[in-house]
């Protein structure tokens, strides 16, 4: 009887390991598929924007196109923005891989800035996509320390919330962490940056968005 129980326990343990392995493989496959889908959608929109630019130059001759005018009401640009945070790594990668620093690279930078909910122009003017990338990367790397500094300040909770909001979307994982350590009064900052998706049960939201939180942390690497 004892041997049967031991065999049963061993079998259940083996079955549990198999189930966990299958679930993990499924999750990893889903993550890989999601990443491929986002990359494909971003690249598809980029190709269409480049085609539009070529058509404008061909029809109007050698003219200067203002990037902010170009993206305004541009369906292909808006398609990238509609992807939300998931488009951030792809846009950053496109800028890193770009051999030139032309109009389309500037558009990548505009999209990165908009999706990140930051305004690096306030700190210092950037004139090209590559210049933006350098400043954006440095900015994102400084965010963890900035979050800790803000939380430790002797100012009102409202002031802390406003400062955290100003750090933008890349600060979300770190704001989520400090809320988990008992700083629930700072939740409005997270709610703002997530478009109120985290409002209510923050822990549940965190579990459901682990992949996105890890992705945002990877931006600093």
CA distances from 147 to 137, 139, 161 (A): 16, 12, 10
- Residue 53: what pLDDT? 85
Select the more confidently predicted residue: 32 or 113: 113
Q: Is the pLDDT at 133 greater than 90, yes or no?
A: yes
Tokens of 46: 């980029």
Question: Sorting pLDDT into bands at 50, 70 and 90, what band is 55?
Answer: confident
Q: Is the pLDDT at 7 greater than 70, yes or no?
A: no
CA distance linking residue 86 with residue 62, whole number of Å? 35
- Residue 65: what pLDDT? 78
**pLDDT-above-70 percentage for the chain:** 81
Mean pLDDT across 4-23: 44
Question: Sorting pLDDT into bands at 50, 70 and 90, what band is 95?
Answer: very high
Q: Is the pLDDT at 124 greater than 90, yes or no?
A: no
| Ranges 11-15, 31-35, 50-54, 101-105: which has the least confidence | 11-15
Contact between 142 and 166 (Cβ < 8 Å): no
Select the more confidently predicted residue: 56 or 84: 84
Mean pLDDT across 51-63: 74
Shortest CA distance to 167 belongs to which of 153, 195, 147?
147
Whole-number mean pLDDT of the chain? 85
- Residue 200: what pLDDT? 87
Q: Is the pLDDT at 2 greater than 50, yes or no?
A: no
| Ranges 41-50, 53-62, 98-107, 139-148: which has the least confidence | 53-62
pTM score, whole prediction: 0.81
Phi and psi, residue 61, nearest 5°: 80, -165
Going from N- to C-terminal start, the domains of the chain cover 36-218
- Residue 23: what pLDDT? 42
For residue range 169-191, what is the model confidence (pLDDT) as tens digits? 999 999 999 999 999 999 999 99
DSSP the chain: -HHHHHHHHHHHHHHHHHHHHHHHHHHHHHHHHHHHHHHHHHHHHHHHHHHHHHHHHHHH-S-PPPHHHHHTT-HHHHHHHTTGGGGHHHHHHHHHH-SS-SHHHHHHHHHHHHHHT--GGGTS---SHHHHHHHHHHHHHHHHHHHHHHHHSSS-HHHHHHHHHHT-GGGHHHHHHHHHTT-GGGHHHHHHHTTTTTSS-HHHHHHHTHHHHHHHHHTT-
Select the more confidently predicted residue: 85 or 33: 85
């Amino acid at each position: 009887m004892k041997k049967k129980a031991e065999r049963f326990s061993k079998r259940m343990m083996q079955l549990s390991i198999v189930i966990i392995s299958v679930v993990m493989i499924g999750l990893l496959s889903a993550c890989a598929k999601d990443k491929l889908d986002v990359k494909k959608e971003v690249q598809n929109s980029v190709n269409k924007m480049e085609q539009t630019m070529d058509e404008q130059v061909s029809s109007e001759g050698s003219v200067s196109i203002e990037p902010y005018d170009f993206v305004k009401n541009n369906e292909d640009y808006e398609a990238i923005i509609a992807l939300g945070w998931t488009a951030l790594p792809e846009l950053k990668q496109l800028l890193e891989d770009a051999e030139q620093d032309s109009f389309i690279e500037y558009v990548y930078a505009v999209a990165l800035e908009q999706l990140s909910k930051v305004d690096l122009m306030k700190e210092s003017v950037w004139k090209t996509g590559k210049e933006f990338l350098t400043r954006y990367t440095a900015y994102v790397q400084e965010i963890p320390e900035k979050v800790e500094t803000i939380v430790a300040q002797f100012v009102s909770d409202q002031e802390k919330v406003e400062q955290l909001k100003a750090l933008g979307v890349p600060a979300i994982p770190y704001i989520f962490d400090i809320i988990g350590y008992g700083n629930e009064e700072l939740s409005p900052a997270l709610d703002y940056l997530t478009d109120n998706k985290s409002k209510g049960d923050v822990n549940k939201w965190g579990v459901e968005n682990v992949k996105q939180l890890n992705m945002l942390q990877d931006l600093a690497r």
